[in-house]
């Protein structure tokens, strides 16, 4: 087995809370400098900066996984990862159709920039991406599987937009095979509240919204094939 350094939760300038310096080139080159071998860009309710990021990643020693941080109808954040760009963009279309048609207000949030591989702005997402979709948490696992991906609850120890903060419980019926926990110190108190916790893959990522937030090598796993371990075939 080999040590794989990863960061599977990051936000580009497309996210309404992402810094404008979070361009695809800046993010990927910072990740490489930090020794990250596998990275995912997971903007709120959108994959629209994944095409540019995937193009940039072709020339770098990093495996980029296209993804999204989905906000369910319960306002629970779910990390969704896909084996290929095509499946991610198909999922992006589906999610966009399940967003409330609330216009973004860039003077309050951000411009929600869509970029090309040269970090040039090629468009703006008009709908506010931070809103909850009409997709429930019970739907997420079978829905994401339909598009060839995997998903798991984000930052479950966070005081907002997590399964425990918003729902107060964790159900085995949801079908998740992994969870993201921010602080390792919280595992002992969370584990008894999660049915089948011993069988879940526990992940830690940065949730970076600024370049200096991107993981610096502290999150890693030992495995033979990282994508296979995640369930991305």
* Structural contact between residues 22 and 214, judged by C-beta atoms closer than 8 angstroms: no
Q: For 168-186, how does the pLDDT look when each residue is reduced to its tens digit (9 = 90+)?
A: 999 999 999 999 999 999 9
Q: What is the DSSP string of 18-73?
A: S-TT--HHHHHHHHHHTT-SEEEE--BT--TTHHHHHHHHTTSS-EEEEEEEEE-T
Q: For 86-112, how does the pLDDT look when each residue is reduced to its tens digit (9 = 90+)?
A: 999 999 999 999 999 999 999 999 999
Distances (CA, A) of 114 to 11, 20, 24, 161: 12, 11, 10, 25
**The CA-based dihedral angle spanning residues 19, 14, 221, 87, taken in that order and rounded to the nearest 10 degrees:** -170
In percent, the amount of the chain with pLDDT more than 90 equals: 100
pLDDT at site 54: 98
Q: For 11-20, how does the pLDDT look when each residue is reduced to its tens digit (9 = 90+)?
A: 999 999 999 9
pLDDT at site 221: 97
Q: For 29-88, how does the pLDDT look when each residue is reduced to its tens digit (9 = 90+)?
A: 999 999 999 999 999 999 999 999 999 999 999 999 999 999 999 999 999 999 999 999
Q: For 209-230, how does the pLDDT look when each residue is reduced to its tens digit (9 = 90+)?
A: 999 999 999 999 999 999 999 9
Answer whether residue 233 shows pLDDT above 90.
no
Q: Which domains does the chain have, with CATH numbers?
A: 2-230 (3.20.20.140)
* Residue with the two structure tokens 């903060």: 165
Q: For 157-168, how does the pLDDT look when each residue is reduced to its tens digit (9 = 90+)?
A: 999 999 999 999
pLDDT at site 204: 98
* Structural contact between residues 32 and 60, judged by C-beta atoms closer than 8 angstroms: yes
Q: For 117-135, how does the pLDDT look when each residue is reduced to its tens digit (9 = 90+)?
A: 999 999 999 999 999 999 9
pTM over cut 0.85:
yes
Q: Which token pair is 36?
A: 């990250």
Q: Which residues contact 91 (CB under 8 A, 6 or more apart)?
A: 47, 68, 80, 82, 144, 147, 149
Please give the Cα distance from 223 to 227 (Å, whole number).
10
């Amino acid at each position: 087995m080999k040590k794989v350094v990863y960061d599977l939760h990051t936000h580009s300038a497309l996210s309404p809370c992402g810094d404008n310096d979070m361009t695809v080139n800046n993010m990927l080159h910072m990740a490489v400098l930090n020794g990250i071998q596998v990275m995912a860009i997971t903007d709120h309710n959108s994959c629209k900066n994944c095409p540019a990021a995937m193009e940039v990643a072709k020339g770098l020693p990093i495996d980029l996984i296209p993804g999204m941080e989905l906000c369910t109808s319960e306002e629970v954040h779910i990390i969704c990862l896909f084996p290929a760009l095509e499946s991610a963009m198909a999922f992006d279309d589906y999610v966009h159709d399940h967003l409330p048609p609330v216009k973004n207000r860039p003077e309050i949030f951000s411009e929600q920039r869509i970029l090309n591989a040269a970090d040039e702005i090629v468009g703006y997402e008009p709908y506010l991406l931070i809103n909850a979709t009409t997709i429930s948490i019970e739907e997420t696992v079978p829905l994401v599987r339909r598009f060839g991906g995997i998903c798991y609850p984000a930052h479950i120890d966070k005081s907002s937009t997590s399964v425990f903060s918003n729902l107060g419980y964790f159900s085995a019926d949801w079908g998740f095979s992994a969870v993201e926990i921010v602080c390792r110190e919280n595992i002992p108190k969370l584990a008894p509240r999660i049915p089948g916790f011993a069988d879940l893959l526990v992940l830690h990522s940065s949730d970076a919204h600024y370049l200096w937030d991107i993981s610096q090598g502290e999150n890693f796993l030992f495995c033979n094939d990282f994508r296979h371990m995640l369930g991305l075939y």
